[in-house]
């Protein structure tokens, strides 16, 4: 079960991006393609999670680390699963059992991500990111140092410590700027997008817009060695953030186009955790443009979907619908 889960998850790995079933214990019955692999992983998640926990409990630590590593790209497609914290906790403990400080740093970073984005436990995310930072610095791993600074910043931002978050992100960006590997460029993109978000949150939307347009430019130039689908997903993130910056500047007409493109691209990649917040923001923009019927469609869809994703942003969607109804009443529509 665990070997099949590992092989299925590797279909989504950015470093491989090959639609093969290498490593499956029974290739004849393996999922035939990426769509089938995703369906299998989603349907059988209780079973493969139990297998991973059993492997951890019985000392099969390398298999645990390998499975969790295989899962980390797939996890982005299902951020609403709280189980990712369990997966990466097991991987951290197995890394320690194996004596691998590198794997420990990597999986502590993944665990910090899970606490931030899946369980919304930002205090735990900050504590975990600090452990990752210590481990990464001990082994002089620049890439994992950059990730740890970024994840710590994400937790600080959610805890309301914005100035500290911006400082960590600037440090992370400086750390990653010299990275030439594809993974290093992806880390840099993530940090830049998060830095822009924090700048926007403190009312510095013009600065945020410049940062996010820098991210867009990196995506447009492409990243050798990475799949076009993955680069498109990162480009969609930059587009969504650019749209939000323009909306923060009340440049509603300019904000509409990048948000539409972002929603379309996220939907194509089946990234619900990304498409639905962008759909909410597009609905808000359309409301300000007085396209009330279309705004209602987007906001209702976002409200329903964000509830299913257990997203704290559902409250924003509900509030937008109330404001939309008020506007329609005022206009007699």
Given this model, what pLDDT does residue 294 score?
A: 96
pLDDT over 70 percentage in the chain? 96
Given this model, what pLDDT does residue 21 score?
A: 57
Compute and round to an integer the Cα radius of gyration of the chain: 20
Distance CA 19, CA 12 (A): 8
Given this model, what pLDDT does residue 213 score?
A: 95
Grade residue 222 by pLDDT with cuts at 50, 70 and 90. Answer: confident
Grade residue 123 by pLDDT with cuts at 50, 70 and 90. Answer: very high
- CATH topology for the 181-258 domain: Methane Monooxygenase Hydroxylase; Chain G, domain 1 (1.20.58)
Given this model, what pLDDT does residue 15 score?
A: 67
Given this model, what pLDDT does residue 51 score?
A: 97
Given this model, what pLDDT does residue 18 score?
A: 57
- Per-residue pLDDT tens digits for 236-271: 999 999 999 999 999 999 999 999 999 999 999 888
If you ran DSSP here, which 8-state letter would residue 224 be given? T
Greater confidence (183 vs 68) lies with: 68
Grade residue 218 by pLDDT with cuts at 50, 70 and 90. Answer: confident
Beta carbons of 216 and 238 less than 8 angstroms apart:
yes
Identify the weakest region by mean pLDDT among 14-28, 63-77, 151-165. 14-28
Of 106, 29, 100, the C-alpha closest to 70 is 106
Beta carbons of 70 and 82 less than 8 angstroms apart:
no
Given this model, what pLDDT does residue 146 score?
A: 96
Given this model, what pLDDT does residue 19 score?
A: 55
- Per-residue pLDDT tens digits for 1-11: 999 999 999 98
Given this model, what pLDDT does residue 240 score?
A: 97
Given this model, what pLDDT does residue 121 score?
A: 95
Of 66, 101, 107, the C-alpha closest to 84 is 107
Identify the weakest region by mean pLDDT among 67-76, 161-170, 175-184, 236-245. 175-184
Identify the weakest region by mean pLDDT among 43-47, 194-198, 203-207, 309-313. 309-313
Given this model, what pLDDT does residue 20 score?
A: 59
Q: What is the mean pLDDT of residues 24-40?
A: 89
Cα distances (angstroms) measured from residue 153 to each of 42, 74, 327:
30, 23, 38
Q: What is the mean pLDDT of residues 67-96?
A: 92
Instruction: Please check the confidence at residue 223 and state whether its pLDDT lies above 80.
Output: no
Greater confidence (229 vs 276) lies with: 276
pLDDT over 90 percentage in the chain? 74
Given this model, what pLDDT does residue 59 score?
A: 97
Distance CA 243, CA 240 (A): 5
């Amino acid at each position: 079960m665990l070997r099949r889960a590992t092989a299925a998850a590797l279909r989504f790995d950015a470093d491989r991006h090959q639609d093969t079933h290498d490593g499956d214990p029974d290739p004849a019955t393996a999922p035939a393609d990426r769509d089938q692999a995703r369906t299998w992983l989603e349907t059988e998640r209780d079973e493969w999670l139990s297998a991973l926990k059993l492997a951890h409990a019985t000392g099969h630590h390398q298999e645990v680390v390998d499975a969790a590593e295989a899962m980390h790209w797939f996890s982005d497609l299902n951020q609403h699963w709280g189980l990712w914290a369990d997966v990466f906790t097991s991987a951290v403990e197995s890394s320690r059992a194996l004596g691998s400080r590198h794997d420990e740093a990597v999986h502590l970073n993944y665990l910090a991500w899970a606490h931030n984005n899946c369980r919304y436990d930002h205090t735990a995310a900050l504590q975990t990111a600090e452990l990752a930072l210590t481990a990464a610095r001990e082994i002089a791993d620049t890439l994992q140092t950059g990730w740890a600074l970024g994840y710590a910043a994400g937790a600080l931002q959610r805890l309301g410590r914005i100035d500290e978050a911006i400082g960590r992100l600037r440090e992370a960006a400086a750390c990653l700027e010299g990275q030439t590997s594809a993974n290093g460029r992806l880390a840099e993109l993530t940090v830049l997008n998060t830095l822009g978000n924090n700048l926007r949150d403190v009312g510095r939307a013009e600065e945020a817009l410049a940062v996010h347009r820098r991210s867009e430019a990196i995506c447009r130039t492409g990243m050798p060695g990475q799949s076009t689908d993955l680069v498109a997903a990162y480009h969609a993130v930059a587009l969504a953030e650019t749209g939000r910056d323009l909306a923060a500047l009340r440049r509603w007409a300019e904000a509409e186009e990048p948000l539409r493109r972002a929603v379309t691209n996220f939907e194509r990649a089946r990234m619900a955790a990304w498409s639905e917040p962008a759909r909410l923001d597009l609905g808000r923009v359309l409301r300000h443009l007085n396209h009330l019927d279309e705004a209602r469609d987007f906001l209702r869809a976002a409200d329903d979907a964000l509830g299913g994703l257990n997203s704290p942003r559902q409250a924003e969607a509900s509030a937008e619908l109330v404001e939309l109804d008020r506007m329609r009443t005022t206009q007699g529509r």
